[in-house]
């Protein structure tokens, strides 16, 4: 039955996420994943073509979840400034979640140069992120703020800053800094967007 298969695949992907976040991308074995998923090694080969295929689907699943979460967050707000805040808050969900997701995401990014499929998934994720940024900026413009910002490049810079901040936070390995980076990231974006030539 298709439903069972879908459940199994999810089970494997969740286990893979956990395994990578704890052991590291290049160290994780199919046996590790099987152990975390509480299934036999054969199951993985049964539902996925090979190890790389598991990783591919994990990246797809992860980035989609992040996007869905962020997009849902901005939908709940009506004003551009609130949407922006919601976007950053969603990106900086929590130290625990960010640690797991971002450290694994980082491993994928590192593989992008060697894996065209990973690149495509990330390319799509970027488009979604920029879409969020664009929506917020355009909403702002319609509200009469963010007037000096180009929509496209603005959305690029917003995501660059979010990713740059999360990366720096992750590297500093101090959960206390999570709100520091979240707030400074938000402030920097707002400052950047609101700039008015004197």
Identify whether the C-beta of residue 21 lies closer than 8 Å to the C-beta of residue 47: no
Of the candidate residues 18, 22, 25, 41, the single one contacting DNA (CB under 7 A): 41
Stretch that binds DNA, among 46-54, 86-94, 137-145, 174-182 (CB under 7 A): 46-54
Concatenate the DSSP letters of all residues of 34-91 into one string: HHHHTS-HHHHHHHSSSHHHHHHHHHHHHHHHHHHHHHHHHHT--SHHHHHHHHHHHH
Residue 46 as a binder of DNA (CB under 7 A): the answer is yes
Minimum CB–partner distance for residue 28 and a copy of itself (Å): 10
Give the footprint of a copy of itself on residues 155-174 (CB under 8 A): 156-157, 159-165, 167-168, 170-173
4 binds, among DNA, a copy of itself, none (CB under 5 to 8 A by kind): DNA
Residue with tokens 């995501």, as numbered in its chain: 159
The nearest distance, CB 37 to DNA, in angstroms, is: 9
The binder of 8, among DNA, a copy of itself, none, by C-beta within 5 to 8 A per type, is DNA
Site for DNA in 112-171 (CB under 7 A): none
- Tracing tokens 């500093």 back to the chain, one arrives at 172
C-alpha–C-alpha distance, residues 100 and 74, integer Å: 23
Closest CA to 58 of 115, 1, 2: 115
Residue 178 CA from chain centroid, whole number: 16
30 binds DNA (CB under 7 A): yes
* Residue 109 binds: one of DNA, a copy of itself, none (C-beta under 5 to 8 A by kind): a copy of itself
- Is the Cβ of residue 29 or residue 142 nearer to DNA in the bound state? 29
**b or e along 71-104 (b: 16 or more beta carbons within 10 Å of the residue's beta carbon)?**
bebbeebeebbebbbbbbebbbbebeebbbbbbb
120 is written with which tokens?
Answer: 């495509």
Give residues in contact with a copy of itself (CB under 8 A): 21, 23-27, 103, 106-107, 109-114, 119, 122-123, 126, 153, 156-157, 159-165, 167-168, 170-173, 180-181, 184-185, 188, 191-192, 194-196, 198
């Amino acid at each position: 039955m298709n439903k069972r298969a879908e459940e199994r695949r999810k089970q494997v992907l969740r286990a893979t996420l956990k395994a990578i976040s704890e052991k590291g991308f290049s160290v994780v074995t199919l046996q590790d994943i099987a152990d975390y998923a509480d299934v036999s090694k054969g199951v993985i080969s049964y539902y996925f073509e090979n190890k790389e295929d598991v990783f591919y689907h994990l990246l797809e699943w992860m980035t989609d979840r992040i996007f869905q979460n962020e997009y849902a967050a901005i939908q709940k707000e009506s004003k551009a400034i609130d949407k922006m805040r919601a976007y950053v808050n969603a990106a900086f969900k929590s130290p625990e979640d960010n640690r797991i997701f971002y450290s694994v995401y980082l491993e994928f990014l590192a593989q992008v140069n060697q894996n065209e499929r990973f690149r495509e998934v990330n390319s799509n994720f970027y488009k979604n992120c920029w879409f969020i940024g664009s929506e917020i900026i355009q909403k702002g413009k319609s509200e009469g703020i963010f007037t000096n910002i180009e929509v496209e490049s603005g959305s690029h810079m917003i995501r660059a800053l979010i990713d740059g901040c999360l990366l720096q936070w992750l590297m500093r390995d101090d959960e206390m800094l999570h709100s520091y980076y979240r707030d400074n990231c938000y402030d920097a974006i707002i400052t950047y967007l609101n700039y008015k030539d004197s």
